Amino acid sequence: MPTRTDSVTAGVHEVVERTRALARLEVELATFELRRKAAALGAGAGLLALAVLLGLFALGFLLATAAAALATSVSTWLALLVVGGSLVLAAALAGLLGAALLRRGTPPVPEQALEEARLTGDALRGNGRG
Protein backbone atom coordinates (compact mmCIF):
# COMPACT_ATOMS: atom_id res chain seq x y z
CA MET A 1 0.00 0.00 0.00
CA PRO A 2 1.50 3.33 -1.02
CA THR A 3 2.29 5.64 1.80
CA ARG A 4 1.69 9.32 1.94
CA THR A 5 5.42 9.96 1.37
CA ASP A 6 5.32 7.90 -1.83
CA SER A 7 2.40 9.91 -3.20
CA VAL A 8 4.09 13.22 -2.29
CA THR A 9 7.29 12.04 -3.96
CA ALA A 10 5.35 10.98 -7.04
CA GLY A 11 3.57 14.34 -7.09
CA VAL A 12 6.85 16.23 -6.81
CA HIS A 13 8.35 14.07 -9.55
CA GLU A 14 5.37 14.77 -11.81
CA VAL A 15 5.63 18.53 -11.15
CA VAL A 16 9.34 18.45 -11.97
CA GLU A 17 8.74 16.53 -15.20
CA ARG A 18 5.97 18.89 -16.28
CA THR A 19 8.17 21.87 -15.46
CA ARG A 20 10.96 20.43 -17.61
CA ALA A 21 8.55 19.78 -20.46
CA LEU A 22 7.18 23.30 -20.18
CA ALA A 23 10.71 24.75 -20.20
CA ARG A 24 11.57 22.70 -23.32
CA LEU A 25 8.43 23.93 -25.04
CA GLU A 26 9.24 27.53 -24.11
CA VAL A 27 12.74 27.15 -25.57
CA GLU A 28 11.29 25.67 -28.77
CA LEU A 29 8.80 28.52 -29.03
CA ALA A 30 11.54 31.11 -28.49
CA THR A 31 13.72 29.43 -31.13
CA PHE A 32 10.84 29.38 -33.61
CA GLU A 33 10.06 33.05 -32.96
CA LEU A 34 13.71 34.04 -33.33
CA ARG A 35 14.02 32.17 -36.62
CA ARG A 36 10.85 33.82 -37.94
CA LYS A 37 12.03 37.28 -36.87
CA ALA A 38 15.51 36.70 -38.29
CA ALA A 39 13.99 35.71 -41.62
CA ALA A 40 11.83 38.84 -41.60
CA LEU A 41 14.84 40.99 -40.71
CA GLY A 42 16.89 39.44 -43.48
CA ALA A 43 14.16 39.98 -46.07
CA GLY A 44 13.61 43.53 -44.85
CA ALA A 45 17.33 44.33 -44.98
CA GLY A 46 17.57 42.92 -48.49
CA LEU A 47 14.63 44.99 -49.69
CA LEU A 48 16.08 48.12 -48.06
CA ALA A 49 19.41 47.50 -49.81
CA LEU A 50 17.54 47.14 -53.10
CA ALA A 51 15.68 50.40 -52.39
CA VAL A 52 18.97 52.21 -51.76
CA LEU A 53 20.48 50.83 -54.96
CA LEU A 54 17.44 51.78 -57.04
CA GLY A 55 17.40 55.21 -55.39
CA LEU A 56 21.02 55.76 -56.41
CA PHE A 57 20.20 54.79 -59.99
CA ALA A 58 17.19 57.13 -59.94
CA LEU A 59 19.37 59.95 -58.64
CA GLY A 60 21.85 59.34 -61.45
CA PHE A 61 19.11 59.44 -64.06
CA LEU A 62 17.66 62.63 -62.56
CA LEU A 63 21.06 64.28 -62.63
CA ALA A 64 21.53 63.18 -66.23
CA THR A 65 18.12 64.65 -67.00
CA ALA A 66 19.14 67.94 -65.40
CA ALA A 67 22.34 67.98 -67.46
CA ALA A 68 20.42 67.19 -70.65
CA ALA A 69 17.91 69.94 -69.92
CA LEU A 70 20.71 72.39 -69.25
CA ALA A 71 22.40 71.27 -72.47
CA THR A 72 19.50 72.70 -74.46
CA SER A 73 20.69 76.21 -73.58
CA VAL A 74 24.49 75.72 -73.23
CA SER A 75 27.07 73.31 -74.60
CA THR A 76 26.82 69.72 -73.40
CA TRP A 77 30.24 69.78 -71.76
CA LEU A 78 29.30 72.94 -69.85
CA ALA A 79 26.00 71.43 -68.70
CA LEU A 80 27.81 68.35 -67.43
CA LEU A 81 30.42 70.54 -65.74
CA VAL A 82 27.73 72.57 -63.95
CA VAL A 83 25.91 69.46 -62.70
CA GLY A 84 29.20 67.78 -61.70
CA GLY A 85 30.43 70.92 -59.92
CA SER A 86 27.13 71.16 -58.03
CA LEU A 87 27.56 67.56 -56.91
CA VAL A 88 31.12 68.25 -55.74
CA LEU A 89 29.94 71.28 -53.74
CA ALA A 90 27.06 69.31 -52.19
CA ALA A 91 29.43 66.45 -51.28
CA ALA A 92 31.94 68.86 -49.73
CA LEU A 93 29.22 70.57 -47.69
CA ALA A 94 27.84 67.23 -46.50
CA GLY A 95 31.35 66.06 -45.60
CA LEU A 96 32.13 69.20 -43.60
CA LEU A 97 28.83 69.06 -41.73
CA GLY A 98 29.25 65.34 -41.06
CA ALA A 99 32.79 65.82 -39.74
CA ALA A 100 31.60 68.62 -37.45
CA LEU A 101 28.83 66.43 -36.06
CA LEU A 102 31.26 63.55 -35.53
CA ARG A 103 33.65 65.83 -33.63
CA ARG A 104 30.79 67.03 -31.45
CA GLY A 105 29.71 63.46 -30.72
CA THR A 106 33.11 62.04 -29.76
CA PRO A 107 34.00 60.52 -27.43
CA PRO A 108 30.67 58.69 -27.07
CA VAL A 109 30.60 58.99 -23.28
CA PRO A 110 27.50 60.13 -21.37
CA GLU A 111 29.33 62.91 -19.53
CA GLN A 112 26.27 64.43 -17.81
CA ALA A 113 25.04 61.04 -16.62
CA LEU A 114 28.49 60.17 -15.25
CA GLU A 115 28.67 63.50 -13.43
CA GLU A 116 25.20 62.97 -11.95
CA ALA A 117 26.19 59.46 -10.85
CA ARG A 118 29.33 60.84 -9.21
CA LEU A 119 27.31 63.53 -7.41
CA THR A 120 24.75 60.97 -6.27
CA GLY A 121 27.48 58.71 -4.96
CA ASP A 122 29.08 61.63 -3.10
CA ALA A 123 25.71 62.56 -1.60
CA LEU A 124 25.06 59.00 -0.46
CA ARG A 125 28.50 58.84 1.16
CA GLY A 126 27.90 62.18 2.86
CA ASN A 127 30.57 63.99 0.87
CA GLY A 128 28.07 66.30 -0.79
CA ARG A 129 27.61 69.98 -0.16
CA GLY A 130 24.83 71.28 2.05
Helix (H) or strand (E) holding 107: none
Verify that 60 and 6 share a domain, yes or no: yes
Verify that 1 and 65 share a domain, yes or no: yes
Final residue of a structural domain among 51, 70, 89? 70
Verify that 27 and 82 share a domain, yes or no: no
Verify that 79 and 24 share a domain, yes or no: no
Final residue of a structural domain among 36, 51, 70? 70
Lowest-confidence segment of 22-36, 85-99, 107-121 by average pLDDT:
107-121
Range of the domain at 2: 1-70
Verify that 66 and 80 share a domain, yes or no: no
Q: The whole model's pTM is what?
A: 0.56
Verify that 62 and 116 share a domain, yes or no: no
Alpha helices in 71-106 (DSSP H): 76-105
Verify that 80 and 64 share a domain, yes or no: no
Alpha helices in the chain (DSSP H): 4-70, 76-105, 111-125
**Is-cis flag, bond preceding 2, omega within 30?**
no
Final residue of a structural domain among 70, 95, 121? 70
Q: Which amino acid, 25? A: L
Provide φ and ψ at 12, rounded to 5°. Answer: -65, -40
The count of structural domains within the chain is 2
**CB contact set of 82 (below 8 Å; sequence gap of 6+):** 67, 70, 74
As to burial, measured by CB atoms within 10 angstroms (0-12 exposed, 13-18 middle, 19+ buried), residue 80 is middle
pLDDT tens for each residue of 40-78: 999 999 999 999 999 999 999 999 999 999 999 999 999
The predicted structure's pLDDT at residue 123: 83
